[in-house]
Homo-oligomer: A and B are copies of this chain.
């Protein structure tokens, strides 16, 4: 049982964390903070948080756990704002989609108090945003990846893991670098590719005709291009190096495919398509066994 929990950013991610803790009866009092007064008022109205404040001093007094659920680029500024009021017993965590940059921001903002910061990333989300999109069950059966710092106390890491477990999440541990390399490949690159394809089509002179005949394959392939441009700009920049590595590997792959196509090398194309189909089916079967069916409109962060 946690005492006071502070959620900075009461939208989908922070709001769902608060709702899940409340549903588990796991927090005595949850305080909402954030940039948007409108979102805070709505979160209070919906019962997502017990109180709201724009005072970091008031929010941080006696807090056991603070979750940063704001865009990753705001990690440093928010931590600087909280630092003067950071008690020795308070643990801060985050929910950012990138980790190396968050760790760098935390070290820079918190100095030797960075040991009180336990970075984490819940792998869940939806296409909709804001307090109204928050769901108590959002993290149920989903992974939360913790990327501990060497200086984190084991008890602090345990507290963050316990809070996420109370939300229904399954805890995994990676280094920040492993985390960023993995998500560059399976999340950040696909987002960039989907945004790139839709923009490419939208700019063609016959875009209206093309969109008219786009069907369900296009719909699924480009669904993630409906995500927040600001959020994905930040993620792309925050994980720039790993994303460039994956993009370059993919460009090399497309160059191979282009070569097979230009040379009418059906066997070359089929080898790649067959390996992809086999791997996709194996993944799909493994994931369906391991995880329950996701809610509609869900997307990874």
**A residues touching B (Cβ–Cβ < 8 Å)?**
123-124, 142-143, 145, 172, 178, 181-183, 185-187, 189-204, 206-207, 209-211, 213-230, 232-234, 236-237, 240, 243-244, 247-251, 253-255, 257-258, 261-262, 264, 266, 269-270, 272-281, 283-284, 286-287, 294, 298-300
A298: chain B residues at CB < 8 Å are 216
In the bound complex, how far is the Cα of B12 from the Cα of A119, in angstroms? 49
Residues in B whose Cβ lies below 8 Å from that of A250:
196-197, 200, 254
Q: How far is the CA of A256 from the CA of B242 in the complex (A)?
A: 18
Query: Once the chains are docked, how many angstroms separate the CA of A228 from the CA of B237?
Result: 36
Question: Is B195 within 8 A of A272, CB to CB?
Answer: yes
27 residue pairs A–B, Cβ–Cβ below 8 Å: A123-B213, A182-B210, A182-B213, A185-B204, A186-B218, A187-B218, A192-B261, A195-B273, A196-B250, A199-B272, A199-B275, A201-B279, A202-B276, A202-B279, A204-B249, A207-B279, A216-B300, A221-B221, A225-B277, A225-B280, A226-B280, A229-B277, A233-B273, A236-B269, A240-B264, A244-B258, A247-B261
Taking CB atoms, residues of chain B closer than 8 Å to A217 are 187, 190-191, 223-224, 299-300
Nearest-neighbour CB distance to chain B for A199, whole angstroms, equals 4
Closest to A232 in B: B273
Distance between Cα atoms of A197 and B145 in the complex (Å): 24
A213 touches B183 (CB 8 A): yes
- Report chain B residues within 8 Å CB of A249: 200, 204
The docked-state distance in angstroms from the alpha carbon of A2 to that of B173 is 64
CB pair A287 B214 closer than 8 Å: yes
Of all chain B residues, which has the CB nearest A247?
B258
B247 touches A196 (CB 8 A): no
**A202 to B237 alpha-carbon distance, docked (Å):** 25
Q: How far is the CB of A277 from chain B (nearest CB, A)?
A: 5
Contact indicator B276/A225 (Cβ below 8 Å): yes
Question: Closest approach, in angstroms, between the C-beta of A237 and any C-beta of chain B?
Answer: 5
Residue of B nearest to A284 (CB): B226
Quick one: closest B residue to A73, CB to CB? B266
Q: Given the complex, which residues of B lie within 8 Å of A237, measured CB to CB?
A: 261, 264, 266, 269
Given the known interface contacts A182-B209, A221-B224, A244-B262, the answer about A283 and B214 at a Cβ–Cβ threshold of 8 Å is yes
Q: How far is the CB of A102 from chain B (nearest CB, A)?
A: 17
B199 near A186: Cβ-Cβ < 8 Å: no
Q: Check B210 against A186 for contact (C-beta < 8 Å).
A: yes
**B251 with A251: CB separation less than 8 A:** yes
A266 and B233 contact, Cβ closer than 8 Å, known pairs A186-B218, A210-B186, A279-B202: yes
Can you name 6 extra interface pairs (CB under 8 A) apart from A202-B276, A229-B277?
Answer: A201-B279, A216-B300, A217-B223, A232-B269, A244-B261, A251-B258
